[in-house]
Structures are given as structure tokens and as C-alpha cells.
Amino acid sequence: MVSLTASPSTRLRRLLLKLGESLLAVVIGLIGGAILMLLYGYDVGVAYSALFRGAFGDVSGLLETLAFATPLIMTGLTFGVGLRAGLFNVGAEGQMYLGAIGAIMVGSMLRMPPLIHLVTATVFAMFMGALWSLPTAFLKIYRGVHEVVSTIMLNWVAFWLVTYLITYQLADPTRAERALPVQETARYAVIGSSLTMVFPVVIALALVTFFIIWRTTVGYELRIVGYNVEAAKYTGISISKSILTSFIIGGLLAGLAGASQVLGRPPHWTVFATMGNLINLGFEGIGVSLIGRNHPIGIIFASIFYGGLLHGGRFMEFEAGVASELVRAINGIIIIALAVPGALQTFRQLVRRRGRGGEV
């Protein structure tokens, strides 16, 4: 099972197996949601048909779904890439906040020609995201601090830092509730509904990540570290370099997730002091990554599915009267059902690795 290269037929079988597991989880989740709705006396048929027609049934719904999927693809990959290197990087949330604030700094405060402004703001946002992942990486490499602990702590530091910056340094003087919106020169063109050109950029970066992880030496080493640290060390792979690479890639992607909500999401083009338009996008990425089996392509599709739930939920509320809280509960059941096989598999791997490696 745990080989890095396999014959095409084995690979296909493994792919189908994973796909089947994910689909099964979707079905279980939907059934769970249906039971919940029946308990509260809602019409399940109307609700689900509203959900899926709303999210995928027409062009404008689909565009909106993709807009909700956009940041999740990036934060999902942050977690996914971390897991490939054997890391539980749950720091996408904080890195995404920093990315958003970086986008505001360049997008709102500086004046530049159109395209250059957009590119600079995007790159700077990604840089900020990566910067915020470095403390975790160094703590892990030099002090052995577990990344779950440090990322969760740093998420809160990021939260309050960004709250401070929005409230006192980057506030819109006429609109106390938000940071200065980015200038028109730093906005991604709108494709339709809430979807902008940031979506193709995100897809492209997901594919680049796929290429790096599966088609380059750096990615190969990173995956070996993820499979078996001892073996990696034995073959002369620099563990710390792989860890650092994984965190930096994750940080760059999370930074773009934050930027996508600022530079690529009408009509506000800014961050609110409550950070309501950012909160949880990082954590939701974890679920998305598990559904997508921590694979870039899988994560793209999982994000679109989850984005569909986020957008389609309002149609359940609107057409079937399902309370919005129940919509979230149903989303939750689906995510849990989807996550369980992924989590179990990860768990099994970790247990097996420990059993095999002894004092690894």
C-alpha cells in the first residue's frame, strides 16, 4: 500500500477505492442530514433538491459555488501538503488572516499601475502567509515543538494582530467597521456573480503544487519524510529542509486564500473588523482536505462540493424553510461522515508507523 510508485492498475484501483469511500461518505452524510431534517419536520426532498439546484443547477449558482470554493482550495492544500510531509499543519487560519492583511496593505495603501498592483498585492499577501508559517517551522525543526500546538497558538496571535491592524492602522476613516477597501487597480476582474479571476489563479497554483509534490525531487523528498522519517534520514534527505518547504508552500497558499477574499471577492474588497468574511476558512480547509484525500486534484473537487453546500444551504433555508442553523448542522454531518474514513486512515498510518519504527 505504502509504496511511492506503483503499477498503473494498482494506482487505478487505489484511486477508485478512495473515490468510492468519499462518495459513500457523502451518501452517509446526506442520509444523516435527512434524518435530522425529518426529526425537525422538514420536507427532505424539497430541501435537498433546493440545495443542489441552488448550488449547481444554473450558471449563477455554479459561479457563486466556485466563489465559495476558492479560498477552501488553498487552505485545504495548506493542510494537505502538511500531511504529505507528515505534519498536522492547522495554521492555515492564521496564515490566511495575515495574507488578507498583506493584501490590504499593498492594495489599499500603495498606488501602482493596474496589473502590477494586482500582482504585487497578491505576491505580498502570499509572502505574509508564508512568513507566518516560519515560527512554527523553526520551532518544529530546532525545538521539536509540535506544530498543532504552535499553529493553534499562532492562529490566535494572528487573529488579535489583524484585529488590531484593522481597527487602528488600516481602518477606513469613514467606515469604522472595516479596513480600507483595496483600490480598483488591485482587484481581480469579476467573471460573474461573486466569482473573479482569482479562481483560475487558485486552480493554477493548485496544479503547480501538484507538480511540485509529485513531479519534483523536492516534493519526492517531502513525501518520503511524510511516509517514513527514519528511511528519509537514512537515504540522506534533509528532514528540516522538507519540513520547511512544506510549511512555506502551505503558508503561501493560505496567504493567497486570504488575498482571494480581499482582492477577489465583490462587493466589499476589504476585511471587516469582525473578520467575518475570513473566519473559519482555514479550519474548513482541514475538512475539505480530508474529503479530497489530501490530494491537490481531490481537494479542488472537495472544495467545489463543500462550496456548493455553503452556497446551496441558503436555498434550503429559502425554499424549504430549513433553519440556517440546521443547514450548518447538515453540512457538519456530511463533513464528519466524509472525514471519518480519512481520519481513520491517517490514524492507522500513524499507529502502523509507530509500531514498525519503534523509537521513531
Partner 1 sequence: MDVKGLTRTEAVLAALLVVALIAAGVGWIQTGQVRTETMTKTVTTTVGGAAQTITVTNTVTSTSTVERIIAPGTIKIAVVSDIGGRGDLSFNDMAFKGGDEAVRDFGVEMVELISKTEADYVPNLETAARDPNVKLIVGVGFLLSEALLEVAQKYPDKNFAGIDTFTQSLAVGNLGKPLPNMLDIVYEEHKGSAVVGALGCLVAAAYNEAGGNYPYIGGVFGIEIPVLWKFEIGYKWGCDWGLKWYEQRFGKKAPIIGEDSRYGSGPGWANGLYCPAAGECWYKGRVLWTYTGTFSDITKGYAAAKPMYEQGAIAVYNIAGPLGLGINQAVQEIATERNLANGPPFWIGVDANQDWINPGFVIASMMKRVDRGVYYATLLTVIGKFRDVVAESNGVLTLGIGTRVGRLAMEGISVSTLADLDEFIQMGVEAEKLTGKQVLPMPPEQIRQKVTEMRSRVPSWVWDALTELESKIRTGQVDVPMVLTKEAVDSWREKLG
Residues 82-111 that bind partner 1 (CB under 8 A): 88, 90
Residue number with CB closer to partner 1 (90 or 101): 90
For the segment 291-310, give every residue that binds partner 1 (CB under 8 A). Answer: none
Q: Is 323 in the site for partner 1 (CB under 8 A)?
A: yes
Contact call for residue 187 and partner 1 (CB under 8 A) = no
Q: Rounded to the nearest whole angstrom, what is the least distance from the CB of residue 12 to partner 1 in the complex?
A: 28
Binding residues for partner 1 restricted to 263-282, rule: CB under 8 A: 265-268, 272-274, 276-277, 279-280
Site for partner 1 in 48-77 (CB under 8 A): 54, 60, 64, 67-68
Taking CB under 8 A as the criterion, which residues in 191-210 touch partner 1?
193-194
Does the protein bind partner 1 through residue 317 (CB under 8 A)? yes
Residues 112-131 binding partner 1 (CB under 8 A) are none
- CB closer to partner 1, 18 vs 314: 314
326 binds partner 1 (CB under 8 A): yes
**Is there binding between residue 357 and partner 1 (CB under 8 A)?**
yes
**Residue 142, interface with partner 1 (CB under 8 A)?**
yes
Residue 86, classified by CB atoms within 10 Å of its CB into exposed (0-12), middle (13-18) or buried (19+), is buried
Residue 156 binds to partner 1 (criterion: CB under 8 A): no
CB of 143 to partner 1, least distance (A): 10
Instruction: Give strand pairing partners of 80.
Output: none
Give the residue from 2, 150, 83 showing the smallest Cα distance to 346. Answer: 83
339 touches partner 1 by CB under 8 A: yes
What residues contact 119, with CB distance under 8 A and at least 6 apart? none
CA 109 to CA 277: how far, in whole Å? 20
Nearer to partner 1 by Cβ, of 120 and 228: the residue is 228
Q: How far is the CB of 340 from partner 1 (least distance, A)?
A: 8
Asked if 189 touches partner 1 (CB under 8 A), the answer is: no
| Residue 247 in contact with partner 1, rule: CB under 8 A | no
Residue of 339, 253, 257, 251 whose CA lies nearest to 292: 339
Smallest distance, partner 1 to C-beta of residue 95, A: 15
The least distance separating partner 1 from the CB of residue 24, rounded to whole angstroms, comes to: 18
* Window contacting partner 1 (CB under 8 A); options: 128-136, 209-217, 292-300, 336-344: 336-344
For the chain, state the CA radius of gyration.
Answer: 21
**Residue 7 CB, nearest approach to partner 1 (Å):** 29
241 binds partner 1 (CB under 8 A): no
Residue closer to partner 1 by CB (options 36, 112) is 36
